[in-house]
Amino acid sequence: MTLNPIALATARRNVAKRIDRFLNGLRRTQRLPNRRELFWLRDALAKLQEGQHPAGEDAMDKAERMLPLPEHAANDLSTNVSATVDQLRAQLDQIMKAAG
């Protein structure tokens, strides 16, 4: 099913707002995202970039609830690479600028 341009823009904006709110919360508490949060945040950002908005919403649900990492990622040392709130926000801004 193809969404009309208005529905697509709304879905994209909703995912971006959730990511933004989450990053604002991290900034308020003056902490970096933990490993689980970071994994799901990166997944949500990737889904947002790919236009897979329902999957982006799902990833944000998991980040907010700090659900465990999927089995394939649990033993992957690359998921230990940290990122700052500023780096994640820059990635979000870049995705939204590219989307128009």
Q: CB under 8 Å to 49, separation ≥6 — which residues? A: 95, 98
Q: CB under 8 Å to 8, separation ≥6 — which residues? A: 51, 53
Structural domains of the chain, count: 1
Q: What is the pLDDT of residue 3?
A: 64
Whole-model pTM: value is 0.90
Count the alpha carbons within 13 Å of 93 in the hemisphere toward its beta carbon: 7
Q: How far apart are CA 31 and CA 29, in angstroms?
A: 6
Q: What is the pLDDT of residue 33?
A: 94
Tens-place pLDDT, residues 23-75: 999 999 999 999 899 999 999 999 999 999 999 999 999 999 988 888 888 78
Burial environment of residue 31 by CB neighbours within 10 A (0 to 12, 13 to 18, 19 or more): exposed
| Domain extent at residue 27 | 5-99
Q: What is the pLDDT of residue 1?
A: 53
Closest CA to 22 of 73, 47, 57, 46: 57
